[in-house]
Structure 1
């Protein structure tokens, strides 16, 4: 049986992030474009949520709003952490810095001393299975290895929140989309392992149904532009093939409805 949620899961735990009636438009007057319209979303600490939808439905816009890179036109976003970390499709590493120094960068900005930064960076590189690669620069690493460094750097950005007793929040915008299928499959498994070990809340954007079902505890489907939450599924104890079929069917309905509009 497919587990379907009509509303976000209720919990007595304070959420890592709460979006209430979030609306975002770009431009003004007749030239304005409504990207998001009345989005309500609640993610609890340690939860892994995938945002799924067709290209242009506002998934990346929503992440940018949560990250504080842009502001909603209306509605509210409440965070229990002041340092959400963001990981993009491109690793975006500093090419002149080694892998270890790239991971150290957010720790340096957070004011950690050199010795503590190096120790934390080494721990995080070990966590993403890059022991011994800290001295290498980005051009000496494969695409998959660069994304591992980017993941370690993003986790470093959440450490301040964890030390302050607030939940970490990691925002991921199709981080594996540019990788080959085998590397992507490996990194998906590695991400789940790292998430379980760190208990960091993750909001992961994808347009791949199989990736969403494989990774997330909850899959949230956004409509085509303007993006609205139209359906949610729990993947916990679900029948994976049935979930994939059900979600794919609803995604096709969303895309078809937009094309016919």
Structure 2
């Protein structure tokens, strides 16, 4: 097992990879103020895959940005054990003038890795996402799905490549497959699960797709319509067939209830 992938051992840790306690987020001031999140409590264990579900505008992306440190909470506490949480968005956002390998290398370089170690880790991560043969290609030479694989390798480089042995990786994913066609999305969902199992990184995955959430997550957390509050939670680890479909229906029903309650308010 390589140094990068040895971090899978942290999956058995007990202190959360990230914990939100009473988190509020308000944008603006006075009458123009908008409350995006209202008293959110959430914890993600090391190595756990949690899907954050909710209707558009419920605060899912805001919550992810707070965990990433891109925004600061108005109130409440966010604590993480990961030195470098990484974010993956709908768009791959690769540097168009850099090859796939150099896009991944850039994340390691910014983290202070030395060149020989970077070269080894870049090759390892591209192999992990099954793009070793595309290392020398630039983004315009890659399909949408391949670009997202490079973005995933880059995110893993950010969160795993520099973590200490007692720091679980933390990957924040904001609807990363939403812009892809159904077949490519299905393939990448399976690939993400394979990579998650191989690396042991904690994942907080934002989606509005109930089926995607139940298929990918070990736990599904539903946010209410704005202001976002935790409105439901389901353990879905290992569900298949009829039990999985039953949970999808239950979550869908609760989501419809949340949306209807908001519309009637």
Instruction: Determine the structure 1 residue equivalent to 2:6.
Output: none
TM-score normalised to the size of structure 1? 0.94
CA-CA distance at 1:159 after TM superposition: 2.1
CA-CA distance at 1:161 after TM superposition: 4.8
Instruction: Determine the structure 1 residue equivalent to 2:186.
Output: 185
Instruction: Determine the structure 2 residue equivalent to 1:5.
Output: none
Deviation readout 1:182-230 (Å, 9 max, x if unpaired): 0000000000000000000000000000000000000000000000001
Match runs of 1:178-217 below 5 Å = 178-217=179-218
Distance in 1 between residues matched to 2:258 and 2:194, nearest whole Å:
32
Deviation readout 1:101-130 (Å, 9 max, x if unpaired): 000111101211212111101110000010
Distance in 2 between residues matched to 1:189 and 1:160, nearest whole Å:
23
| Paired residues of 1:161 and 1:167 also in contact (CA < 8 A) | no
**SS state at 1:82 partner:** coil
**SS state at 1:49 partner:** strand
TM-score normalised to the size of structure 2? 0.93
| Paired residues of 1:83 and 1:160 also in contact (CA < 8 A) | no
Instruction: Determine the structure 2 residue equivalent to 1:251.
Output: 255
Q: Residues 203 and 126 of structure 1: is their aligned pair in 2 closer, same or farther, counting only changes over 3 Å?
A: same
What is the number of equivalent residue pairs in this alignment? 251
Distance in 2 between residues matched to 1:117 and 1:102, nearest whole Å:
12
| Paired residues of 2:83 and 2:159 also in contact (CA < 8 A) | no
Distance in 2 between residues matched to 1:95 and 1:163, nearest whole Å:
31
| Paired residues of 2:84 and 2:163 also in contact (CA < 8 A) | no
Distance in 1 between residues matched to 2:150 and 2:229, nearest whole Å:
33
CA-CA distance at 1:237 after TM superposition: 4.0
The answer to whether structure 1 residue 123 and structure 2 residue 124 are counterparts is: yes
**SS state at 1:203 partner:** strand
The answer to whether structure 1 residue 70 and structure 2 residue 71 are counterparts is: yes
| Paired residues of 1:43 and 1:49 also in contact (CA < 8 A) | yes
Q: Which runs of 5+ in 1 are unaligned?
A: 1-10
Distance in 1 between residues matched to 2:183 and 2:231, nearest whole Å:
32
Match runs of 1:43-192 below 5 Å = 43-192=44-193
Distance in 2 between residues matched to 1:137 and 1:237, nearest whole Å:
38
RMSD over equivalenced CA pairs, Å: 1.2
Instruction: Determine the structure 1 residue equivalent to 2:8.
Output: none
| Paired residues of 1:88 and 1:174 also in contact (CA < 8 A) | yes
Moved over 3 A (4+): 160-164
Distance in 2 between residues matched to 1:160 and 1:185, nearest whole Å:
27
**SS state at 1:21 partner:** strand
Deviation readout 1:70-90 (Å, 9 max, x if unpaired): 000000000111210000000
Distance in 2 between residues matched to 1:198 and 1:237, nearest whole Å:
18
